[in-house]
Structure 1
């Protein structure tokens, strides 16, 4: 049987978040494997209430972990690195990353009680790591977090470049600039496939450099008469530095608020990504500084409920409260799905009289992802035989495939679970594996099909009734049924208390029930559940979730 080169997304294709991509080489169904990235997505109250994090379903990889050689992490964003500590014990292979990313990965391993020494620091291209049939090198690329890298993946079937998240920024301020000559050199002997970021394929204009943001921010901060607060992604070290330097040049003391922001800056300094950063003051000292001389850099650019931005919007944080005439800057783009949380914060600040500036003008934020013209330029530089879009919803992948086809390059849309054979000159579908999601719910990992989140959604939408009945040794009811209501109106259409209506209907049923029914718990629970749901529907127009407790004296 001939060997083949396969690509299998388990997360991150057909969605944005929880990236996890498998590459394999060898005999069909017995390939040696590597995993690129192992990230998370974040929950929302509409689809996953109470859930802390969402992971890709890696059961297929667990079942084949005896074939897995290593994990390679392209950069330190949560959607690429966030699950490394949670999932390492299921995979038990070395994790390779560049210094800054490795620093973050070790923290995540330690936080979950996993061995941090399994995270191995590698140098950028031309250094390569040999694992099984693969040679893997980290090719520097600019993005919105330091030391981002594409992966050059060599196998006997040819060279593949996995772009990771990237933009074509030749003046990124922090981290390496995009080097088209280096990319051309790496690609000159032929690239079989470019697996490529699709996030901004619908953005028609070439991306702007990080360097273009600084002057605009500095002008805004310098003109502000009172306290200035700014938020951005904590991982965007270049932007945090730009904000801090703008405040410093305006004569303001700088205070970092939020654990994630402090941790990122500390990691950047410890790993040499940052060689300087303006002096910062503690939150305690910040509370004593005149407002017009203070600038806070805070977490919570996406409206996160517990982050510093949201807490300031609700009142105060670390002893500091915003007042009328203060300025709050969102130096970030709102990720689709987070609009409600961000708008809520903006309105709360507005009620305080705080002036809020967002990115609607385009002055104070630039994306970390390549726009459509940048993707076309990347295709030309690398000149791959085929382009496989990843990192995007289905519409992004399909549009990116069209862009590749327009320049004569083979392409195909592969969503999560679609295994591609990249061995020839045309990508082909080699099969499908079952994929989905798993949830971190508190400290427990649960499956998307376990029914837990589904039940939680049903209770949130429909309310809950607990019905308790008591039967004696002869299976006769002792007294009336009693009900407890949660999340339901007290009064229904009959203008009687809903709890009284439900208890009366259940008690009447018990009075009519035959001896055989009263001795059968399953029959009782089913009948009572149906009666309560139907009675509630008649009274309030909803059929709540019902729990029936049958207690017997014996």
Structure 2
């Protein structure tokens, strides 16, 4: 039996949709040479992570083994696959490999963070391969909702692995490469040990639709609109942006792109040659001079993001442009679960303006970029792997994908974040459990999910805050009365007296009763003041706030 092993370890993306990061390793246990496939982010929400800018995978385990890491391979340029490369480059230091379009996006991120663009290396698609320690990895074109998406063929001393990345079987994707079954058949011919496969749409029973199918419907909608026509989609869905722009052009409208991400994606597509013949666009400044019925805006913010162009327009004005009664707003996108409230808020704001909002309830104006169940079934039959490892999905998606594999008489393995799988033998086993979690980018600082920062922020948001100030003289006696400041709490309670006055009176009485042992001990005094303030607030307003105590002592 070989003393070396082949391992698979998801650090993000297995048990959730987003924040993808998958480690592969080969070598003696604990000494494996490693590669990382994708390094993405997910986005915060005000309920669970207020104030946080981005959520990154916890790469502590990998960073501690950075001297074993050979390379990072990025399958495509969606934020949940490439968004963390610049944030973690210092911690990992390994070269980053990607195809031209993805490299363009990754280099922009590296530049923004002051890292050398040379760390990102552009490679050609399959059959070209990149050697990284014991691995040979090749990018195989596959259709998705962003240009130059790729699956990875990873050849190891213990067999061939196929990592699909995000994909769908689209033979007419408008922009980018069509799905070519013959290429994947050839890849499968030598035999595939494991298929590590996208699971996002495993519950969707209908065959996936082509990106090209939405064009005629969008064109009819734009042609029938009377006022200004505004539409939003994922900025990275360059094919959809092109379809929207061409529909506007055919309707005789001037096209204006609004939102930094939208412009950046189109610029990258043109620079790398994946997008040709894009309609001429006008600047927001020029758009203000164009009659409403002759203007089409393509804007960011399809998921209700508060700072994106859609939300700004819904609040009244963005870059000098306002919407009005008779205008049309199209969501050419699917609302990601968890974003519904933000999207509905925008729809209602537009409704109050008299704007007609069209969403994808009809299914006419959006198609998914992920493989539905029949496509996953077809991929299983194309690759014929020894085993299937579902990825890119919540636990329910992974579990259902395992069932699908079993239906196809394949061995399915459910591996979630932190579960290191030993793939060396015919039957995979759990080699180790790694502690994984989330890292928050809070402003410019990275903090751990268990550090307590976000927890405290949530508690203050839920309970309000009281600050107590106390001064003691040289003899450890109170100097004057304690005073309070409140935030996020009602000014009066049941007694109808000002809440601050009630708190200060109860705190003053406590200080008057406190013995010398308490008054000379900051910890005991702080604990007592906090307890009194919380109990007093509970009696007045039915809520125990968070309390901060500042004790100042005068020196002799």
TM-score (norm 2): 0.99
Aligned to 2:370: 369
1:113 and 2:114 matched: yes
Secondary structure of 1:191's aligned partner: coil
Aligned to 2:437: 436
Alignment partners' CA distance in 2, 1:423 and 1:141: 27
- Residue 47 (structure 1) shift: 0.3
Matches within 5 A, 1:42-191: 42-191=43-192
Aligned to 2:401: 400
Alignment partners' CA distance in 2, 1:256 and 1:276: 16
Preserved CA contact (<8 Å) 1:410 1:427: no
Alignment partners' CA distance in 2, 1:374 and 1:214: 22
1:415 and 2:412 matched: no
Alignment partners' CA distance in 2, 1:274 and 1:427: 43
Alignment partners' CA distance in 1, 2:379 and 2:324: 47
Runs of 5+ consecutive residues of structure 2 not aligned to the other structure: none
- Residue 425 (structure 1) shift: 2.1
Secondary structure of 2:25's aligned partner: strand
Preserved CA contact (<8 Å) 1:419 1:431: yes
4+ residue runs of structure 1 moved beyond 3 angstroms? Answer: none
Alignment partners' CA distance in 2, 1:463 and 1:370: 46
Alignment partners' CA distance in 2, 1:457 and 1:447: 15
Secondary structure of 1:51's aligned partner: coil
Aligned to 1:381: 382
Preserved CA contact (<8 Å) 1:17 1:40: yes
1:228 and 2:236 matched: no
**Per-residue Cα deviation, 1:154-182 (whole angstroms, up to 9, x for no partner):** 00100000000000000001000000011
Alignment partners' CA distance in 2, 1:106 and 1:45: 30
Secondary structure of 1:477's aligned partner: coil
Aligned to 2:497: 496
Alignment partners' CA distance in 2, 1:466 and 1:394: 43
- Residue 107 (structure 1) shift: 0.5
**Per-residue Cα deviation, 1:467-489 (whole angstroms, up to 9, x for no partner):** 00111111111111100000001
**Per-residue Cα deviation, 1:501-549 (whole angstroms, up to 9, x for no partner):** 1111110000011112111111100111111111111111111100000
Secondary structure of 1:494's aligned partner: coil
Alignment partners' CA distance in 1, 2:171 and 2:25: 33
**Per-residue Cα deviation, 1:109-165 (whole angstroms, up to 9, x for no partner):** 111111110100000000000010000000100000000000000001000000000
Secondary structure of 1:429's aligned partner: strand
Aligned to 1:529: 530
- Residue 344 (structure 1) shift: 0.3
Secondary structure of 1:221's aligned partner: helix
Secondary structure of 1:296's aligned partner: strand
Aligned residues: 554
Aligned to 1:506: 507
Alignment partners' CA distance in 2, 1:407 and 1:372: 12
Alignment partners' CA distance in 1, 2:339 and 2:57: 20
Secondary structure of 2:386's aligned partner: strand
Aligned to 1:352: 353
Matches within 5 A, 1:513-524: 513-524=514-525
**Per-residue Cα deviation, 1:229-283 (whole angstroms, up to 9, x for no partner):** 0000000000000000000001000000001100100000000001210000111
Aligned to 2:326: 325
Aligned to 2:34: 33
Secondary structure of 1:495's aligned partner: coil
Preserved CA contact (<8 Å) 1:411 1:427: no
- Residue 426 (structure 1) shift: 2.2
Preserved CA contact (<8 Å) 1:144 1:236: yes
TM-score (norm 1): 0.99
Alignment partners' CA distance in 2, 1:3 and 1:551: 63
Preserved CA contact (<8 Å) 1:252 1:294: yes
- Residue 29 (structure 1) shift: 1.6
Alignment partners' CA distance in 2, 1:410 and 1:6: 17
Secondary structure of 2:318's aligned partner: coil
Aligned to 1:22: 23
- Residue 427 (structure 1) shift: 2.1
Secondary structure of 1:41's aligned partner: coil
